[in-house]
Structure 1
Amino acid sequence: MSTQDLPWKLVLFDLDGTLINSIDLVVTAWQHAFADVLGKQLDRETVLPWIGLPLTDTIAEQGGDKAEALRASYDQFMQANHDDMVTAFAGLPELLDDLAVYNVGTAVVTAKGRELAERGLRVAGYPETLHVAAAMEDTREHKPNPAPLLAALAHEGAHASDAVYVGDAIYDLQAAEAAGIPAIGVTWGAGKRDALHQQRALAFADAPDELRAQLLG
């Protein structure tokens, strides 16, 4: 099969909350760091909007003069617990395999650091063909700025008209719109369904099977 059968040659994916179920890990890491360094309790609903934003920015904003210690505590928890708390959302590794059958390229665009992003993909069992096209280190600006998506297109040698972006946060959909890339919002991650539906998108998916239908027809 070929990409002539589908409207896109490249599918770009967000990582956390889209491909990998890492939400509990991220929330717990933040809660641990806040309690450890700041002596404060942090509820889940406060953390969820931070997911998808660059960690360095959020650490600086929340930690103030204790930002360095907050980052160290967060990283320590993340490294110690990452592999036990990261899984793929059911059905998505198989979807990646099917996209490959159609010769559709796939890549990840994330605000996470490259090493941990690649590690998450492998721990979750995604195929080696799925790689990180743009990570935190690759652009000065991050989602909702379009820079990461534009960098990913350049990395993959693709045009916006040939691609679609899949993400679970409003920042994903805003970045895609700014980059001129059609987007599909998924509601199984950190983003709120109502907030996602207020953004412009090609489609929305409430389950991986819906995403499969939207990508493969």
Structure 2
Amino acid sequence: MAFKVAIFDWDGTLVDSVEHIAESLHQAATELGFPALERNAYRNIIGLGMVEALDMLYPGLSREQMTSIREGYARYFFAKATMPQNVFAGMADVLADLRTGGRGCAVATGKSRRGLEKALLTSELGQHFDLTRCADETRSKPDPAMLAEIVAFYGIEPHEAVMIGDTVYDMDMAQRLGMPAIGVEWGVHDREALGQFSPRAVVGSVKDLRFALGI
């Protein structure tokens, strides 16, 4: 596959954090008296910006209620740092090999800037990325704004990059911009869901991802 830049989602793609996010959302909402939802409901919104995620989970929240849930979520989520052992096995090597091969690497995530900056440091992955974009500094997935900003930074066309992610929001975002995408099955959404957006490939292992990327 010919490309100049690989753009990665964070949670569920590079880092095994899906269950921790879901549990943090559950704890933050229920301690404020909001109903407990099925675990898959919390999982399904991972990848969206927090405002968009809470709008989907609990429609009609007031600004004060949303602020309270977000503060509770941050308290629970940041109680556990993202460490190198939380990075999916082999993904740090994928990033290193892409850089050695002269490809750019970037992140497009639904995380907040505060959350990503901490995770980049404690996961020890920060060294691999030229640029990172977060939902709270641009528009949330599946709007392709963050991908457009990344390709503009590199001075390339969308077809010269590839988006790698675990959610339909990643695949939809790439498709809207005309960017090739690769779905990974070890995160939130399954092969069938990811495949609805015509990615170049949906892979079930890091070995298969390496093959799809040609590294």
In structure 2, the partner of 1:93 is 92
In structure 1, the partner of 2:115 is 116
Q: 1:116, CA displacement in angstroms?
A: 1.2
Change (3 A) 1:216 1:118: farther
Work out the CA distance in 1 between the residues paired with 2:86 and 2:175: 29
Q: 1:89, CA displacement in angstroms?
A: 0.6
**1:158-185 Cα distance to aligned partner (Å, 9 max, x none):** 2212111101111111110111110001
Change (3 A) 1:192 1:176: same
**1:163-217 Cα distance to aligned partner (Å, 9 max, x none):** 1110111111111011111000111001122211222111111111100111125
Of 98-107 and 36-45, the range deviating more from structure 2: 36-45
Identity %: 30
1:90 aligned partner, one-letter code: A
Alignment partner of 1:186 is 2:184: yes
**1:129-179 Cα distance to aligned partner (Å, 9 max, x none):** 32543212332x321111111011112332212111101111111110111
Contact map agreement 1:12 1:106 (CA 8 A) in 2:
yes
Work out the CA distance in 2 between the residues paired with 1:47 and 1:40: 12
In structure 1, the partner of 2:165 is 167
Q: 1:39, CA displacement in angstroms?
A: 4.8
In structure 1, the partner of 2:61 is 64
In structure 2, the partner of 1:155 is 153
In structure 2, the partner of 1:82 is 81
Q: 1:94, CA displacement in angstroms?
A: 0.5
Among candidates 112, 122, 140, match of residue 142 of structure 1: 140
2:148 aligned partner, one-letter code: L
Aligned residues: 211
Work out the CA distance in 2 between the residues paired with 1:127 and 1:85: 11
Change (3 A) 1:209 1:121: farther
Change (3 A) 1:153 1:142: same
Give the root-mean-square deviation of aligned CA atoms.
Answer: 2.0
1:12 aligned partner, one-letter code: I
The 5 A counterparts of 1:177-216 are: 177-216=175-214
**1:27-74 Cα distance to aligned partner (Å, 9 max, x none):** 110111122112532331111111011102223452713222111111
Gaps (5+ residues) in structure 1?
1-5
Change (3 A) 1:160 1:9: same
Contact map agreement 2:135 2:141 (CA 8 A) in 1:
no
TM-score of the superposed pair, with normalisation by structure 2: 0.90
Gaps (5+ residues) in structure 2?
none
Change (3 A) 1:215 1:107: same
Contact map agreement 1:31 1:43 (CA 8 A) in 2:
no
Of 102-111 and 33-42, the range deviating more from structure 2: 33-42
Change (3 A) 1:25 1:86: farther
TM-score of the superposed pair, with normalisation by structure 1: 0.89
Contact map agreement 2:180 2:200 (CA 8 A) in 1:
yes
Q: 1:85, CA displacement in angstroms?
A: 10
Contact map agreement 2:181 2:201 (CA 8 A) in 1:
yes
